[in-house]
Structure 1
Amino acid sequence: MFIVSLTYISEISQIDKYLEAHVEYLDKNYEKGVFIASGRKVPRNGGVILAKARNLSELEEVLNDDPFKIHNLAHYELIEFVPTKSAPEFASLIQ
């Protein structure tokens, strides 16, 4: 499992220009079962995605389709972790 931390490297006006396409990209990957949760950082200087991928290269392929990445609007930090405990409603995430 991965935490993807996006930090905007562009003006919010540029982010907003591609926001609808980014949301469509997110929706596509929720349907595929790759993304588990996502949302904006507070303050609004980026976002976070919780992703399930077999390995780092698979996740990088998915992220390469993000309009924010295609248009060089954000920096991506990828943190891999192995969940070993969870609240009961998230037990399916334990590997």
Structure 2
Amino acid sequence: MIVVLLNYVVDLAEIDALRPAHVDWLKAGLAEGRLLAAGRKVPVTGGMFLARGSLEEVQAWAATDPFALAGAAEYSFTEVAPSILAPGLEALAG
């Protein structure tokens, strides 16, 4: 699993304008089985998502995010192998 952190590098007004396309992109990733979870940072300075796939696959997929295409966010990627999970989160192990 890959943990992806986004940091916005543009004004929030630009992020808000791009958000509908970004949410559609996330929903497509969910439907494809690539996306596991996503959300905003608090305070809203960026976001995060958990994705399935190799580091290279997730990096390539993230490059198609409308935020990335517009140069609105920077991304950091960390591969993790969860070994202790709360009940109901078993899907994160695979």
Q: Normalising to structure 1: TM-score of the pair?
A: 0.94
Measured on the aligned residues, the alpha-carbon RMSD in Å equals 0.9
Distance 1:38 1:81 in 2: 16
Once superposed, which parts of structure 1, at least 4 consecutive aligned residues long, lie more than 6 Å away? Answer: none
CA distance in 1: counterparts of 2:81 and 2:68, whole angstroms:
26
Correspondences of 1:26-37 after superposition (within 5 Å): 26-37=26-37
The residue number in structure 2 matching 1:42 is: 42
Distance in 2 separating the partners of 1:22 and 1:92 = 24
- Checking the alignment, whether the CA contact within 8 Å between 2:59 and 2:77 is kept in structure 1 is no
Q: Does 1:81 find its partner at 2:83? A: no
Deviation of 1:60 (Å): 1.2
* Unpaired runs of at least 5, structure 2: none
Q: Does 1:57 align with 2:25?
A: no
Q: AA paired with 1:7?
A: N
Q: Which residue identity lines up with residue 12 of structure 1 in the other structure? A: L
Query: What letter corresponds to residue 44 of structure 2 in structure 1?
Result: R
Structure-1 separation of matches of 2:18 and 2:76: 20
TM-score normalized with structure 2 length = 0.95
In structure 1, distance between residues paired with 2:18 and 2:59: 20
Query: What percent of counterpart residues are identical?
Result: 35
- SS at the partner of 1:3? strand
Alpha-carbon shift at residue 90 of structure 1 (Å): 0.9
- Distance (whole Å) between structure 2 residues aligned to residue 22 and residue 62 of structure 1: 12
* Structure 2 equivalent of residue 13 of structure 1: 13
> Which 5+ residue runs of structure 1 have no aligned equivalent?
none
